[in-house]
Amino acid sequence: MLFQSYQLGGLSLKNRIVMPPMTRSRAAKGEVATELMADYYGQRASAGLIISEGTQISRQGQGYAWTPGIFSQEQIDGWRKVTDAVHASGGVIFAQLWHVGRVSHVLLQENRASPVSASAILADGVKVFVDPTGKGPEDGVGEMIQHSMPRELTIPEIKQIIQEYAQAAKNAIAAGFDGVELHGANGYLIEQFMDSQTNRRTDEYGGTLENRLRFLRDVVTAVVDAVGKDRVGVRQAPLTTLMGAIDDDPETTYIEAAKFLNDSGIAYIHIAEADWENAPVMHIAFKEAYRRAFSGTLIYAGKYTKERAEEALQNGWADLIAFGRPFIANPDLPYRLEHDLPLNEPIREKFFGGGAAGYTDYPFTDAESFAAVAQ
């Protein structure tokens, strides 16, 4: 089933393989997508669906050096180069809209302001990537440092961020994206509101589960109103504890969220399974509960092999499967998987920052597969 076509709303996907969001920190000054990024995404357009790297909806939403934004005209124009390259190769691409919340540093914030969150809670040991040299991704040297202490958002500020999500979605469509994915995973702002241990608010956005889910509901509603439900997906990571985000009862929290997302009619939920050593396992019963709660498309990511992907599709747990790190080193990954060909190994030292090396210079299998992507 992995290599069969799939209908995602009004979009025809050539296969059920997804390239998920992966931060690569190659944006130019002004957090603008570049020609090099267009080459990178265009090379990988044989995926049924590409979801862009996390793309901040505002300067406040940035948590790492050299990541792209989508809140200025220059950024929209930069992303247009990327979407044109993907569409020229017959691909489909969504933009992942990102606000990191507390996972930032004053060096990345305008006027060195404090990062913001649902509550003023520091995630001890959670580090962010900064560029103290200010030279940019090719010449600069980044370093990982403890994120800055956040402050709690006011209600008017929350309402402003919700509108920034909606505007970013409109900007993404103007840039040529086929849709948007809201980053509601990995301990960033949406999850900071959802999870019980990162939200200590006592107002309408905290306390009860209904209130902790309110920010997600408000953002989804605003974005759906802005660009249409068929163009919206949401990423979730119900069992991960990344960036210090922990929920005391994730199955209840995330299935309740899935029920709302089902009622909203969005295109998909993209579920990131915990994939580190000794990580909590997402049991089959949890996956089946997701399927009962959400009738739209379900995408799963998390160290999937071809065999595990086929099992998930055959059992109906998933409709599409995302392969993360393998796509870094294998621009023609669908071809390699289909023909059981060996995979290139990614160069970890080249994951973040730099130029073409370890980014667009990984070899295709042969001229024939390159030609298939380039059609």
What per-residue confidence (pLDDT) applies to 372? Answer: 53
Q: What is the value of pTM for the model shown? A: 0.95
Q: How confident is the model at residue 371 (pLDDT cuts 50, 70, 90)?
A: low
- Domain hosting 85: range is 6-374
Rg of the chain over Cα atoms, rounded to whole angstroms, equals 19
SS3 content of the chain, % helix, strand, coil (to 5): 35, 15, 45
299 domain residue, yes or no: yes
Inside any domain, residue 165: yes
Here the CATH number for the domain that contains residue 291 is 3.20.20.70
Confidence of residue 277 (pLDDT cuts 50, 70, 90): low
DSSP string, 210-242: HHHTHHHHHHHHHHHHHH-GGGEEEEE-TT--G
Q: Tens digit of pLDDT for each residue in 151-180?
A: 999 999 999 999 999 999 999 999 999 999
> pLDDT at residue 12 above 90?
yes
Examine residue 1 and state whether it is found in any structural domain, yes or no. Answer: no
Report yes or no on 78 lying in a domain. yes
Instruction: Give a yes or no: residue 325 inside a domain.
Output: yes
The set of catalytic residues is 188
* pLDDT at position 198 over 90: yes
Q: Flag whether 229 is in a domain.
A: yes
Residue 214 and residue 284: Cα distance in Å, rounded?
28
Instruction: Output the pLDDT for position 103.
Output: 97
Q: Is residue 126 part of a domain?
A: yes
Q: How far apart are CA 48 and CA 320, in angstroms?
A: 9
Q: What is the mean pLDDT of residues 254-279?
A: 90
Strand partners, 276: none
Closest CA to 118 of 171, 184, 38, 27: 184
Q: Looking at residues 320-348, what average pLDDT do you find?
A: 96
pLDDT band, very low/low/confident/very high, at 276 (cuts 50, 70, 90): low
The total number of structural domains in the chain stands at 1
Q: State mean pLDDT over 123-148.
A: 85
200 located within any domain: yes
pLDDT at 264: 97
